[in-house]
């Protein structure tokens, strides 16, 4: 099994690769509908359903790609990603 060097986020108008080495921590809500990825330069918020599979794949560096796809058709079990937001951090 290949270990990913980072995650590529596919949004409707752009695609962005962020290395795992920039990840500070990840947090998921109890309902498994929001996943927050805190990177050194930005925060990525993934909204969807049953996101536990994404979180677990990320923990083992096996998550390569996350794609906004409101319909089912996700490659990670029954997880669906309805929205990905990437917010740049503002330096103080």
Label residue 3 exposed, middle or buried (CB < 10 Å: 0-12, 13-18, 19+). exposed
Rounded CA gap, 46 and 21, in Å? Answer: 19
Domain boundaries, the chain: 6-88
* pTM for the structure as a whole: 0.85
Rounded CA gap, 87 and 41, in Å? Answer: 9
How confident is the model over 8-67, as pLDDT tens digits? 999 989 999 999 999 999 999 999 999 999 999 999 999 999 999 999 999 999 999 999
């Amino acid at each position: 099994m290949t270990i990913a060097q980072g995650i590529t986020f596919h949004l409707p108008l752009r695609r962005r690769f962020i290395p795992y080495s920039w990840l500070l921590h990840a947090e998921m809500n109890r309902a498994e509908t929001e996943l927050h990825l805190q990177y050194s330069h930005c925060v990525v918020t993934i909204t969807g359903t049953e996101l536990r599979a994404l979180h677990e794949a990320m923990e083992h560096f096996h998550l390569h790609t996350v794609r906004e796809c409101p319909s089912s058709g996700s490659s990670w079990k029954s997880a669906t990603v309805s929205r990905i937001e990437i917010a740049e951090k503002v330096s103080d």
